[in-house]
Structure 1
Amino acid sequence: MQGDRVDLVHPVILCGGSGTRLWPASRESFPKQFIPLAEPLRSSFQAAAARLSDPATFARPAVITANDARFLVAEQLAQGRIEVDILLEPCRRDSAPAVAVATLHAAARDPEALVLILPADHAIGDDAAFVAAVRAARAGARAGHIMTLGIEPTHPSTAYGYIQPGHPLPGKAGEAGAHAVARFLEKPDAARAAGLIAEGALWNGGYFLFRADVMLAELEARAPEVLEAAQEAVATAERDLDFVRLGAEAFARAPQISIDYAVMERTDRAGVLPVGFPWSDIGTWGALWEIAERDADGNALRGRVAVRNTRNSLVHGSGEILTTVVGLDDVVVVATDDAVLVTSRSTAPEVKGLVEDLRRRSAPEADAHRLMYRPWGSYQRIDIGARFQVKRITVKPGGRLSLQKHHHRAEHWVVVRGTAEVTVDGVVRLVHENEAAYLPIGCVHRLVNPGKIPLELIEVQVGSYTGEDDIIRIEDVYGRDKA
């Protein structure tokens, strides 16, 4: 509290990234922050949003995410009944432009607002301790420091950057345990990591708390091109349904640079508050094993799995596939319905390079799941051949696919559950269970679920080309004809 000011913190969740080191569970179409990994029933993004629920500490949160992830974000927030502002990045530009946009968004409400930047894909084992740390860091931020939460290391990790604390900050910030930052250090080798921990260095977890006017001044002084692009992107933003689309042309001009390089490693205002709550960035399968509940043999098991004579391993299965491991130690085995990963825990970080290899080979499994989520529901590929594709489509009650047509394929829809409202060239009819509809090549069509239960149907596509880019949207209630 300063005068009559109520120091509510304006949290902004950065929800980008693809998490390729956690392939095949995490992919471009459904990245790790949306997958229940550290917890069985909610994603790390949902956990991060729920962590900001204390109205005495936090103002209405904002989320900055990619355009393609907007409906995933909205759906997962709706499941938790959490209301936020959702800002859409037209392209990826690393964290500095995102932080600039977040700061401008908060400054529009209060030029001296306290802004908290936090990642969407981390696991925190003590929510109360996290909130207490944010409260403790407010004094330093209000005094004009750009505060970061420095994670007290549990082992000499080469996966994280480090922060060396300097002298205690003056006043209430120092009383809360905050220090000036002596310097930020890049990811070290193992020997250097051990030495840094012995010297009292902290992990850089990517949490920043600052006054909006302070960060804007630092951006103007140290990264003016980032700030200028962000200002124009915010000024030219447009509202689309429940989203705010940042100006695409302006945002694309922003340099691709992290907030660490742009500001934190150059500013003389950096402060750090050491924190000891359980934390992981869940960056690799090995990192997930470290925080997961394990059995007496040290195995972390998830899904429909069985192991024998196996120790200190992570076995992760999804769907109905039974995943079994016999006679192995210190391994990672991950099975999805279309891909299987087997690696040692020590080489798990190399999965990112494997995904890059798969992309060079144009393997669809590199980025796309068989099960794909859409604002109206989902579809799952069952089979595909040279001139056909078979999908299972699920439409939520009230869900409405776009009015569309295809140049290269005809489609057959067979309803297996619920009732479908099918439009073909202006003719509307209801199709019930065990009934079918035929959509010839070039017809203008739409599918709607008018009922109270999910609509399930089997779609058979036949034609010279069955790719997703053979969809010409004429009208779409979800705004995808503008994307």
Structure 2
Amino acid sequence: MITPVILAGGSGTRLWPVSRKSFPKQFANLLEGPSLFQRTLERVNTPEFAEPTVITGEDYRFIAQKQLAEMQVDCGGLIVEPMGRNTAPAVLTAALLHKDNPEKILFVLPSDHQISDAHGFRQTIFKAARVAQKGMIVTLGVKPDFAATGFGYLRVEGGNDDALMISQFTEKPDAETASRMLEDGNWLWNAGMFLFRVDVVLKAFEAYAPELIGPAEAAMALGGEDLGFMRLDADAFGRCDEISFDHAIMENLSECTALPLTCGWSDLGSWQALKDIGEPDEHDTVVLGNSTALDCEGSLLKSENPDVKLVGLGLKDVIAVATDDGILVADRRHSAQVGQVVEALRMEGATQADGFKRCYRPWGYYETLSLGARFQVKRIMVEPGAKLSLQSHVHRAEHWVVVSGSAKVTVNEDVKLLTENESTYIPLGAVHRLENPGKLPLHLIEVQSGCYLGEDDIIRYEDIYQRAEVA
């Protein structure tokens, strides 16, 4: 069987305002239905594949866990990286996790790509696994159909349909070089997917990146199981160099192979890429979500919010994307440069650069409805059976009003059960906790008042999610 290793720790900014650091594109609802992460799980949820190993970041561990549960997919291991170190340390960690089964085939794949032909995709993976079983490290490439400058390229030659030899790697060429590669016909886009036996890839790390092995082994040995996660030790993992698997391993191999991937692949790395896989109208305009196009040509309109109607009138070659708190309007030709928008917003100190109004937590989510001088109004949703930390605040008091569901409320020594339309008051400094003892989501309105309303005004005394040291 093939064991998928799904990389789900990226915090991409190229699809702002829908994808942000606090909730990146692999978990977002870019397309109708499941997230890209969940679609990746679906593609490898067949009898030929073992339970996947998922590698994600500290900020996304509960999001990944929840989306796994929604898909009813059993995970063979959910590894939490304390910080991003690119793909080489992640791949090495996965290989070390499976080192007791040296001939096992691992299939490393990103969690944020779109594949239109899942059956064809799996057939290519099975073919690549047969090559990998012979002791080769195999990567997948996509035949380019335009001179892309945002992808890495593989030059291939010889071989057969089962394996093409890679003779050169090139990272993100300029437009002129990319045009020559397209005309040459012997180049593939690097899809960032790899297959290999555990023992083969570990020997490759020993030969070409031995400096990573010690920190990675220590990160696993000093880490441990925590709430269903395998948490890597931060100090040890932080000593790993930040380097990609391509640079650390692939480019140093004397022999490596590639298989062409012909299954409707897209890395969805820009809004233009999303438009390309959409269903255009007669004027080559794609309309998604709560949007309407009037006399528009070659454009993409997408509104994430059912309460925000996005209307395009007379637009040509424009990308327009709206969320609750951010709107992007861009020339299609600049869609690959959206990351510059995020950098500009960070320089301005705009909260929209990295976060949303809705903030996800392991117990559910909250979103700010109104914020002013000395007050803030939030909507809070607590999942069934979940509970917030036992906590207090130095600078604010709170009122809670239950909208639906049931709430178990602790305020100092007082514990009571609240139902719809009932409320309670949390005085400044009181030790308190909110729980959902029911089987339905708990929705409530929280009104905060005080001189400081920041999220860091929390003293935790007990937290079932172990998010921080408690007082």
Fold shared per TM-score above 0.5: yes
- Does residue 112 in structure 1 map to residue 103 in structure 2? yes
Q: Are 1:103 and 1:215, in contact at CA under 8 Å, matched by a contact in 2?
A: yes
Aligned counterpart, 1:133: 124
Of stretches 136-145 and 338-347 in structure 1, the one that deviates more from structure 2 is 136-145
Q: Could you tell me how far apart the structure 1 residues matched to 2:220 and 2:417 are? A: 44
1:284-316 C-alpha deviation (Å, 9 max, x unpaired): 111111111211221111111112111111111
Aligned counterpart, 1:25: 18
Read off the aligned partner of 1:141 and give its amino acid letter.
A
Q: Could you tell me how far apart the structure 2 residues matched to 1:418 and 1:276 are? A: 49
Q: Could you tell me how far apart the structure 2 residues matched to 1:107 and 1:67 are? A: 24
Given the alignment, which residue of 3, 9, 24 partners 2:2? 9
Q: CA deviation at 1:332?
A: 0.6
Q: Could you tell me how far apart the structure 1 residues matched to 2:413 and 2:281 are? A: 59
Aligned counterpart, 2:336: 349
Q: Are 1:381 and 1:391, in contact at CA under 8 Å, matched by a contact in 2?
A: yes
Q: Are 1:475 and 1:481, in contact at CA under 8 Å, matched by a contact in 2?
A: no
Read off the aligned partner of 1:309 and give its amino acid letter.
D
Q: Are 2:14 and 2:269, in contact at CA under 8 Å, matched by a contact in 1?
A: yes
- Does residue 103 in structure 1 map to residue 95 in structure 2? yes
Read off the aligned partner of 1:292 and give its amino acid letter.
G
SS in 1 for 2:249: helix
Q: CA deviation at 1:227?
A: 1.8
Aligned counterpart, 1:207: 193
1:52-75 C-alpha deviation (Å, 9 max, x unpaired): 1112x2111100000110110011
SS in 2 for 1:32: coil
Q: Could you tell me how far apart the structure 1 residues matched to 2:219 and 2:439 are? A: 41
Q: Are 1:421 and 1:450, in contact at CA under 8 Å, matched by a contact in 2?
A: yes
Read off the aligned partner of 1:454 and give its amino acid letter.
P
Given the alignment, which residue of 170, 178, 183 partners 1:198? 183
SS in 1 for 2:338: helix
Q: CA deviation at 1:482?
A: 5.1
Q: Could you tell me how far apart the structure 2 residues matched to 1:398 and 1:250 are? A: 35
Q: Could you tell me how far apart the structure 1 residues matched to 2:384 and 2:171 are? A: 50
Q: Could you tell me how far apart the structure 2 residues matched to 1:477 and 1:117 are? A: 32
Given the alignment, which residue of 277, 283, 292 partners 1:291? 277
Read off the aligned partner of 2:58 and give its amino acid letter.
N
Q: Could you tell me how far apart the structure 1 residues matched to 2:231 and 2:424 are? A: 37
Aligned counterpart, 1:147: 138
1:134-187 C-alpha deviation (Å, 9 max, x unpaired): 11012221122110011122222111111011331xxxxx5x521221111111
Aligned counterpart, 1:301: 287
Q: Could you tell me how far apart the structure 1 residues matched to 2:226 and 2:206 are? A: 29
Q: Are 1:393 and 1:459, in contact at CA under 8 Å, matched by a contact in 2?
A: yes
Aligned counterpart, 1:158: 149
Aligned counterpart, 1:243: 229
Q: Are 2:92 and 2:216, in contact at CA under 8 Å, matched by a contact in 1?
A: yes
- Does residue 326 in structure 1 map to residue 313 in structure 2? yes
Q: Could you tell me how far apart the structure 2 residues matched to 1:17 and 1:228 are? A: 24
Read off the aligned partner of 2:304 and give its amino acid letter.
S
Aligned counterpart, 1:49: 41
Q: Could you tell me how far apart the structure 2 residues matched to 1:19 and 1:294 are? A: 26
Q: Could you tell me how far apart the structure 2 residues matched to 1:447 and 1:330 are? A: 49
Q: Are 1:10 and 1:106, in contact at CA under 8 Å, matched by a contact in 2?
A: no
Aligned counterpart, 1:276: 262
Read off the aligned partner of 1:388 and give its amino acid letter.
F
Read off the aligned partner of 1:442 and give its amino acid letter.
G
Q: CA deviation at 1:432?
A: 2.3
Aligned counterpart, 1:180: 165
Read off the aligned partner of 1:15 and give its amino acid letter.
A
Q: Could you tell me how far apart the structure 1 residues matched to 2:419 and 2:467 are? A: 28
1:93-144 C-alpha deviation (Å, 9 max, x unpaired): 1111001101111223x01211111000000111111111111012221122
Read off the aligned partner of 2:96 and give its amino acid letter.
L
- Does residue 476 in structure 1 map to residue 463 in structure 2? yes
Aligned counterpart, 2:202: 216
Read off the aligned partner of 2:402 and give its amino acid letter.
V
Q: Could you tell me how far apart the structure 1 residues matched to 2:136 and 2:287 are? A: 43
Of stretches 314-323 and 187-196 in structure 1, the one that deviates more from structure 2 is 187-196
Aligned counterpart, 1:4: none
Read off the aligned partner of 1:181 and give its amino acid letter.
I
Aligned counterpart, 1:59: 50
Structure 1 gaps of 5+ residues are 1-7, 169-173
Q: Are 2:121 and 2:262, in contact at CA under 8 Å, matched by a contact in 1?
A: no
Give the ranges of 4+ consecutive aligned residues of structure 1 lying more than 4 Å apart after TM superposition: none
Aligned counterpart, 1:5: none
Aligned length: 467
SS in 2 for 1:196: helix
Read off the aligned partner of 1:453 and give its amino acid letter.
L
Aligned counterpart, 1:440: 427
SS in 2 for 1:421: strand
Q: Could you tell me how far apart the structure 2 residues matched to 1:269 and 1:466 are? A: 58
SS in 2 for 1:131: helix
Q: Could you tell me how far apart the structure 1 residues matched to 2:122 and 2:322 are? A: 36
Structure 2 gaps of 5+ residues are none
Given the alignment, which residue of 229, 242, 254 partners 2:240? 254
Counterparts in 2 of 1:275 and 1:432: CA distance versus 1, 3 Å: closer
Read off the aligned partner of 1:10 and give its amino acid letter.
T
Q: Are 2:3 and 2:106, in contact at CA under 8 Å, matched by a contact in 1?
A: yes
Give the % identical residues: 47
Given the alignment, which residue of 65, 69, 72 partners 1:81? 72
Given the alignment, which residue of 437, 449, 452 partners 2:439? 452
Read off the aligned partner of 1:61 and give its amino acid letter.
P
1:379-394 equivalent positions in 2, closer than 5 A: 379-394=366-381
SS in 1 for 2:19: coil
Q: Could you tell me how far apart the structure 1 residues matched to 2:373 and 2:209 are? A: 51
Q: Are 1:144 and 1:269, in contact at CA under 8 Å, matched by a contact in 2?
A: no
Q: Are 2:131 and 2:162, in contact at CA under 8 Å, matched by a contact in 1?
A: no
Q: CA deviation at 1:470?
A: 1.4
Q: Could you tell me how far apart the structure 2 residues matched to 1:291 and 1:29 are? A: 25
Q: Could you tell me how far apart the structure 2 residues matched to 1:269 and 1:469 are? A: 52
CA RMSD of aligned residues (A): 1.3
